[in-house]
Amino acid sequence: MEREVVIEVKNLYKKFGNFVANDNLSFKVYKGEIYGFLGANGAGKTTAMKILCGISLPTSGEVTIAHLDFNKYREKIKLKIGYMSQKFSLYDDLTVKENFRFFGGIYRMSRAQIKEATVRLLESLDMMSLMDTIVGSLPVGWKQKLAFTIANMHSPEIVFLDEPTGGVDPLTRRRFWELIYQAANNGVTVFVTTHYMDEAEYCNRLCIMNDGKIIVENSPKELKTIYNASNMDEVFLKIVNRKHS
Amino acid sequence: MKRFFAFVKKEFLHIFRDVRTLTILIGLPVVLVIIFGYIVSNEIKNAKIAFLDYSNDNVTQQLKNDILASGYFIEENCFKLANDNKTVADKNNSFMSNAYSGDIDAAFKDGKVLMVIVFQEDFAEKIEREGIANMQIIADASDPNTATILIGYIQAIVEDFQRSMFFEGRESMEIVVEPRMMFNNELKGAYMYVPGTIAFILMLICAIMTSVSITREKEFGSMEVLLVTPLKSSQLILGKLVPYVFLSVICSAIIFLLGYFLFGVPFRGSVFDVVILTLCFVIIALLLGLWVSNFTKTMEIAMTLSLVVLMLPTLLLSGFIFPLENMPMFLQIIADILPAKYYLDAIKTIMLKGGGLMDVIKDFSILLVMIIVLVFVNIKSIKDRLD
C-alpha cells in the first residue's frame, strides 16, 4: 500500500555565511509516523526543524508540507502544524486554562470549542483539578505533557517537537511518549528532534545527522541490525566514530 | 481579529498578573509628582537676604517690608551701618563703597546670605526729585538657578512697589522694565514637573516595558512558538503595544489630575490638544521600545539599554530638571534629538499659556517627523532580522 507522504524535503540547504548548517537534506515523512532526527548538538537538526516550521528560510531546496508547497502556502501550512520546544512549553504566569484559551484563540477556535477541548484534554490527562493553577507552579514533566496537549489542541496534521523532553528523568519521558503514541495512533504525524537514545528507540524511523548531513535513515530496529549493535547508543557512536576516523 | 484579541488578552493577563510591576507603574507617577511638586520644588522660600541700606528712609523701609512680606526672604543682619560711615559712601555717589564690599564678600563666603540688596544714599529724596534712584541686587550665583529665581522675585516685588507709588499720585518715574518669569510668576515647581513627569513615565511604560515584554518572549523561547502559529508578526507587535498605550493613558491622566487638583497647575489650553500631543509622544516612545527590542536578546540588556539611552536623557536633558540653556553645546545637541524636549515645550505652551496646536506647530511637526522616521527605522530593522 502506498503510504501518504506529509513532509517531503528535497535538496535542502541552509547556510549561515560560510557555515553549512544543513547540507543537501532529502527525506520523506509518512502520515501517522513518528519520525526522529537524531544528532549531537550542532548537527543541524534544530535548524532543519525551524525551516520546516516556517521560522527560518532555507537557502535553497524544496519543501512540501501537508501537500502544500512551502514557499506559496506558508500561512496555510501554519494552521496544519503544531510546535513544541524544550526551551518553552507554556506561559508560566498564566493558569492552565488561560494557556488553553490563548493558544485556542490564536488558532481561531471559538469560545465553545476551546472550552470543550480544554475539558476533554484535561480529563484525558487526568489534570482537571489543575484548571486554574498557575503553570509556573507545576513540575516540568506535567508542563511538558500540557504543552504537547496544547500543541495538538487545534488538531494539526503534523506536530513538531524540538527536544521536547529535555531535563526530565527517563520515567517521565516514557510517560510523555505514551502521549505521542496516542497522537500518532490518531493519525497525527510526529516529527521530533532528540539527542536522547532511549527517545530515539521510540521512533518509527530515524534520521541520524552529523555536521549538517544525513548519515543514515532507517528504523531503529534495522539500524541495530545493520550496525550490529544492541542499542541505539552503540549505533550512534559507531556512526559518529566512523565518520571521524 | 480573533487572533489579535486573544493575543492582547494574554498581554493584559501578563501585566495584571505581575502585581509588583503594575504597582510600580501606577504608584511611581503618583510618588514622582508629589515629590517633584512638594520637595524638589523650584520655589524658594525663606531665602536669606541682607540689606545694606545707606539711605534708611521711609521708601527703602517700605521696600524692605514688601520684600520680607513676600515670604520668599528672611532678613539676616550682616551689616552694621554706623552713621559716620555714611560720608564714605556719599563721596563718590556709588552704592558700593570699598568699606562695605569686603563685608558683602564675607557674608556670601560664610554662606550667611544668598542675596544682598544695596540701597543708594538718599534713596527717597532722589526718587522725589530726580525720579531715579538706584538699588543694587547682588546674588550668590554659585547656584545660578536659585540666583536667577531670587532676582526674578525681587524684580517682581520692586515693580509692584513702583506701580503702587505711581498710583499714589507721585510724579511719573523711571520705570525700568525687567524680564519676568512669565506664566509661572512664582516659578511653581509642579508646573514644570507635571509634563516632565509624564514624559518620564511614558518613556518608562512605553519604551522600557515594551522592549522588555518583547525580549521576554525571545528569552523564554515563546517567540518561536508564536512564530509557528498563524499569528502575524504585525498582530504580534501591535498586540504588544496596545496594553501599554492603555497603561500610558491611565498614568498620564493620573499625573494631569494630580497636578490640577493637588498643585493647582493651570490647564488653560484644550484637553484635546494635550491628548493629541501625548499620544504622539506615546507612539514615539513605543516605537523606541520596539526598536530597542529588535536588537536585544535578553530582558536585562533591553532594560539597561532603555534606561541609559532613553530614560536618563529624558530625565536629565529634557529641560525639566536642569535648564537646557546652561548646558554645554554637545549636551544641547543631544537634547535636540530627544522627543521629550519638544513634547515638554508644547505641553507647557498649551497648559500654562493656553495656546493651541497652531502655537506649537513647530514642536508638533518635529514629533510627527520623529514618528515617521521611527516607523521606517523599525520596518527596516524588522526586515533585516527576517532575512
Render A193-227 in DSSP notation, one character per residue.
EE--HHHHHH-SEEEEEETTEEEEEE-HHHHHHHT
A21–B contact, CB cutoff 8 A: no
pLDDT at residue B90 in the model: 47
Does residue B36 contact residue B190 with C-beta atoms inside 8 Å? yes
Sheet holding A5-16, edge to edge: A19-30, A5-16, A60-65, A68-69
Per mean pLDDT, which of B87-91, B171-175, B307-311 is the most reliable? B307-311
Q: For the sheet containing B73-75, what is the strand order?
A: B73-75, B47-53, B115-119, B135-139
Question: Do the chains contact at A91 and B222, CB–CB below 8 Å?
Answer: yes
The region of weakest confidence among A169-178, A189-198, A225-234, B140-149 is B140-149
Is there a contact between A94 and B18 if contact means CB atoms under 8 Å apart?
no
Residues A128/A81, Cβ–Cβ less than 8 Å: no
For residue A26, what pLDDT is reported?
93
Domain boundaries, chain B: 2-40+188-386, 47-167
Alpha helices in chain A (DSSP H): 45-53, 74-80, 96-106, 111-125, 140-151, 170-185, 197-202, 220-226, 232-244
A81/B228 touch (CB, cutoff 8 Å), yes or no = yes
pLDDT of residue B81: 54
Residue of chain B nearest A84, judged by CA positions: B225
Question: In this structure, are strands B115-119 and A81-85 parallel, antiparallel, or unpaired?
Answer: unpaired
A28-52 mean pLDDT: 90
**Residue contact A54–B5, C-beta within 8 A:** no
Give backbone dihedrals phi and psi of B232, rounded to 5 degrees, phi first: -80, 155
Is there a contact between B6 and A87 if contact means CB atoms under 8 Å apart? no
The confidence score (pLDDT) of residue B91 equals 45
Contact B221 A85 (CB under 8 A): yes
Pairing of strands A189-194, A158-162: parallel
Instruction: Specify the DSSP element, H or E, that contains A5.
Output: strand A5-16
* A–B CB contacts, 8 A cutoff, strictly below: 74
Q: Distance from A151 to chain B by nearest Cα, in Å?
A: 9
Percent of chain A whose pLDDT exceeds 70: 98
Residue A121: is its pLDDT beyond 90? yes
Q: Let me know the angle formed at the C-alpha of B269 by B267 and B271, rounded to the nearest 5 degrees.
A: 80
Distances in Å between the Cα of A53 and the Cα atoms of A47, B18, B296 are 10, 32, 23
Q: Is the pLDDT of residue B150 over 90?
A: no
**Spatial separation of the C-alpha atoms in residues A56 and A37, rounded to whole Å:** 18
pLDDT at B87: 45
C-alpha B385/C-alpha A40 separation (Å) is 27
Residues B49, B117: contact at Cβ < 8 Å? yes
Half-sphere exposure at residue B169, Cβ-oriented, CA atoms within 13 angstroms = 0
Q: Which residues of A touch B5 (CB under 8 A)?
A: 105
Determine the CATH number of domain B47-167: 3.40.1710
> Inter-chain contact B6–A79, Cβ cutoff 8 Å?
no
Residue B369: which pLDDT band, with cuts at 50, 70 and 90? very high
Residues of B in contact with A106 (CB under 8 A): 3, 6-7, 226, 229-231
Chain B residues in contact with A50 (beta carbon < 8 A): 224
For A5-90+158-244, CATH gives 3.40.50.300
A84 in contact with chain B, both atoms CB, cutoff 8 A: yes
Closest Cα of chain A to B359: distance in Å? 46
Residue from B252, B259, B271 nearest B357 by CA: B271
Q: What residue spans define the domains of chain A?
A: 5-90+158-244
Band of residue B295 on the pLDDT scale cut at 50, 70, 90: confident
Distance from C-alpha of B297 to C-alpha of B257, rounded to nearest angstrom:
38
β-pair partners for B219? none
pLDDT tens, position by position, A75-118: 889 999 999 988 777 899 999 999 999 999 999 899 999 999 99
- In angstroms, the Cα distances linking B190 to B29, B220, B257 are 13, 42, 12
Tell which wins on pLDDT, A243 or B303: B303
User: Residue B365: is its pLDDT beyond 50?
Assistant: yes
Q: Assess whether pLDDT exceeds 70 at residue A184.
A: yes
Per residue in A56-74, pLDDT (tens digit) is: 889 999 999 999 988 888 8
Of A54, A94, A105, the CB nearest to B228: A54
Q: Which of B17, B227, B229 sits opposite A107 (nearest CB)?
A: B229
Mean pLDDT of chain B: 80
With CA atoms as reference, the chain A residue closest to B386 would be: A56
pLDDT at B180 over 60: no
List the grid coordinates of B164: 503702587
Q: Summarize the confidence of residues A207-226 as an average pLDDT.
A: 89
Helix (H, G, I), strand (E, B) or coil at A61: strand
Q: What is the pLDDT of residue B13?
A: 92
pLDDT for residue B102 is more than 80 = no
Nearest to A53 among B6, B9, B228 (CB): B228
Give me the mean pLDDT over the B200-228 stretch.
87
- Read off the pLDDT band of B50 (50, 70, 90): confident
Whether residue A159 has pLDDT greater than 90? yes
Q: Which residues in B have their CB inside 8 Å of a CB on A?
A: 2-3, 5-7, 9-10, 13-14, 17-18, 220-222, 224-231
pLDDT band at B177 (very low <50, low <70, confident <90, very high): very low
